[in-house]
Structure 1
């Protein structure tokens, strides 16, 4: 009897690099509208999860991390992160470091050293349902980080890595929690962040691209000076 490895959560019908570039060319509002129309209204994260630099955009598959408060400074928990970076590299694809910080509000859960090591292991951005620090260095590196807040407070003896590559929960805009699993796609811009379930990544992208083409055409009609009522009646909901 032979056993086979579980399929990678980072295998999609379209090459992942192409998916990243195509998603980066869209915007979060259009993605949300498509998901909402498909019956997935709870895929937007809480409104205070924002890019540190408003110009930053992230798009890519999620590598998920669960962290927990750790007032003991447990060394075994702290050193686990070295193995986590190895797991990131082993995915073989560009990934977004997505962190469930267990609602902690005391410390920074991401910083310049995370970005430095992560970038060497395939990380192209971070999404942190918590805090970040070392902001000047992140800006100089132009390494996109989305977080709830900034703070200088060190995480040691306050918060630690616990587990990764499991389904986690991030605070939602319309729901308490938005589940995120490894391989789900993340897209974030100045308006906020949406989570695209892995099995819908291509379908959602194609619908979003069609929506944007339609919006571009309608925009030209409005800008031409044609009667706006006529344009609206022609296209319906805008």
Structure 2
């Protein structure tokens, strides 16, 4: 399967990442909501391991499942997983559906080392993370539900990747994520931008932020806020 077509947006991925990182999730969410996509925010528990971390990039989707037998075939498949990441040839967000498991750590330092060598620039885990101190020292952005020292071996393992997955949502039970959808996260959480909307949402959010900045500057002058609201409409 050729996945590269899922990562073509008409604008280089590196430029998209840099432009999104100049924004904030609240504004991106507002644009998605206005476009009729209100259920694109992940569950409130998905937060960065350090408050100032920001991530942006296209999703490389991974599905994991409980693995109480420690299936060696499942574990060794991860080498192929990272090779498939590398083959795409652009920055990626390692995006993990952990099948609602709330016990083990589904991501850690070695995942980050392998991932970075394969093009990964950040990770979103609907589950747990460990080796957090190493990740912080490396300034590697990870967003997860919780942190724990519990090893995943004999508890959870990779099942498949580059398939539609479901992550817990803020307003819906599940937010669907497809390969090439764009993830953007900051202190307030993570939003998922469908691949077909990545450029449109970026441009509309940039315009929204420009208007907000103008309004903010006028509010700071002490002029009549009612008139300023009338001038700019709903902010």
For the residue of structure 2 that corresponds to 1:131, the secondary structure is strand
Measured in 2, the distance between the counterparts of 1:15 and 1:49 equals 27
Which of the numbers 23, 26, 31 marks the counterpart of 2:23? 26
Measured in 2, the distance between the counterparts of 1:7 and 1:17 equals 15
Measured in 2, the distance between the counterparts of 1:16 and 1:106 equals 34
Return structure 1 stretches of 4+ with deviation > 3 angstroms: 4-7
Q: TM-score, normalised by structure 2?
A: 0.98
Which of the numbers 40, 45, 57 marks the counterpart of 1:43? 40
Work out whether 1:202 is the aligned partner of 2:180: no
Let me know the Cα RMSD of the aligned residues: 1.1
Which of the numbers 108, 113, 117 marks the counterpart of 2:114? 117
1:81-160 to structure 2, matched below 5 A, reads: 81-160=78-157
Shift of 1:235: 1.7
What 5-or-longer segments of structure 2 have no aligned partner? none
- Residues 148 and 7 of structure 1: is their aligned pair in 2 closer, same or farther, counting only changes over 3 Å? closer
What 5-or-longer segments of structure 1 have no aligned partner? none
Measured in 2, the distance between the counterparts of 1:152 and 1:5 equals 37
What is residue 164 of structure 1 aligned with on the other side? 161
How many residue pairs align between the two structures?
235
Measured in 1, the distance between the counterparts of 2:75 and 2:84 equals 16
Work out whether 1:231 is the aligned partner of 2:234: no
Cα shift readout 1:82-139 (whole Å, capped 9, x = no counterpart): 1000000001000000000000011000000000110001000000000000010000
Which of the numbers 50, 61, 65 marks the counterpart of 1:68? 65
Work out whether 1:215 is the aligned partner of 2:212: yes
For the residue of structure 2 that corresponds to 1:152, the secondary structure is coil
Q: TM-score, normalised by structure 1?
A: 0.97
Shift of 1:237: 1.2
Work out whether 1:80 is the aligned partner of 2:77: yes
Measured in 2, the distance between the counterparts of 1:117 and 1:170 equals 23
Work out whether 1:178 is the aligned partner of 2:175: yes
Measured in 1, the distance between the counterparts of 2:91 and 2:3 equals 20
Shift of 1:232: 1.2
- Residues 120 and 175 of structure 1: is their aligned pair in 2 closer, same or farther, counting only changes over 3 Å? same
Shift of 1:229: 1.3
Contact 2:211 2:232 in 1 (8 A): no
